[in-house]
Amino acid sequence: MTATVSATGISKRYGNVHAVKDVSFALNAGETIALVGHNGAGKTTLIKLMLGLIRPTTGTLKMLGEDPAQGDFHVRQRLGYLPESVSFHMALTGRETLSFYARLKRVPLSSADALFERVGLAQEAADRPVRTYSKGMRQRLGLAQALLGEPRVLLLDEPTSGLDPALRRSFYDLIGDLRSDGATVLLSSHALTELEDRADRVIIINRGVKIADGTVDELRRIARLPTRIGVRFAEDPGPQWPSGETGWKRTPTGAFETEVAPEDKIALLHRMTVQPAKLADLTVIEPTLDDLYAHFLTGQACK
């Protein structure tokens, strides 16, 4: 895969504060990456480093093969950024706002109009002052601004803040299209549940240190957290069940639940499905991204 962003041993100090410590990673073309961490973990500092707004104290960072802090305009032109809190001139219309950013980025103004429909803003809204916009509309205008010039690298900080569930689905459909077109999309977010099935890879940052990096399946293999299995029988199996099974607990709804190690999951499922007619329901719940995040944070705290 082609790396569009590469960081090698980058650190950033602010006096005695070590905001980022010896972080290395590569972000690839056609990849969606979730950057996960609590407030103050170092996510925003990493994004500022990638944008070239600040320089690393040590280490090297390349954006599209160049140092983003050197001010190469062609690199900045292929970079899109949506901050966590978007802020626009309230007296300008949406169209005037997007035209202003298009001129700054030196991209055709004609591309600005097409973006309104792409991000779900009606054309009539484009000619209204931004002060009349809801938070979700301003967020969509910010996304349109980030998409100017068809960027190869898109850095999005809490991009779904203020969007309702339907608009969130539309947003992730758009991200999927960008990924298919070969863009690198970095999503910095606290919304771990919605990222779980939408990110190709997860990078977890805590106290300025990268503590995990991989697909959700890879992180599950590393963490070795148990899988939760639930079963509901077509008829009450009676007090003798579970004979020969251990760890099962009856729930208030009459179902049974247990937790099983990853290497024992398939064998247990095989035993439970030998007589499928006796089963009314069977659920398998793998460790979620929330579970993995808590696991790796706890592991770092113990070091």
Amino acid identity for residue 227 in this structure: T
Residue 51: name the closest of 5, 101, 106 by CA.
Answer: 5
Amino acid identity for residue 7 in this structure: A
Q: What percent of the chain is helix, strand and coil (3-state, nearest 5)? A: 35, 30, 35
> Please, what is the angle between helix 216-223 and helix 289-301, to 10°?
50
Amino acid identity for residue 270 in this structure: H
Q: What is the mean pLDDT of the chain?
A: 89
Exposed, middle or buried, 22 (CB in 10 Å: 0-12/13-18/19+)?
A: middle
CB 146 within 8 A of CB 101: no
Tokens 């949406």 belong to which residue? Answer: 94
Sequence-ordered list of residues with C-beta below 8 angstroms from that of 224, at least 6 positions apart, any chain: 261, 262
Both tokens assigned to 221? 């293999």
Residue 43: name the closest of 233, 236, 186, 216 by CA.
Answer: 186
Beta strands in 227-278 (DSSP E): 227-233, 249-250, 256-260
Enclosing H/E stretch for 301: helix 289-301
Convert the pLDDT of each residue in 1-47 to its tens digit.
689 999 999 999 999 999 999 999 999 999 999 999 988 889 999 99
In tens digits, the chain (303 residues) has pLDDT values of 689 999 999 999 999 999 999 999 999 999 999 999 988 889 999 999 999 999 999 999 999 999 998 877 888 888 999 988 888 999 999 999 999 999 988 888 777 778 888 888 877 888 899 999 988 888 889 999 999 988 999 999 988 877 788 888 888 888 888 899 999 999 998 888 888 888 999 999 999 999 999 999 999 999 999 999 999 999 888 777 776 677 888 888 888 999 999 999 999 999 889 989 989 999 999 999 999 999 999 876 555
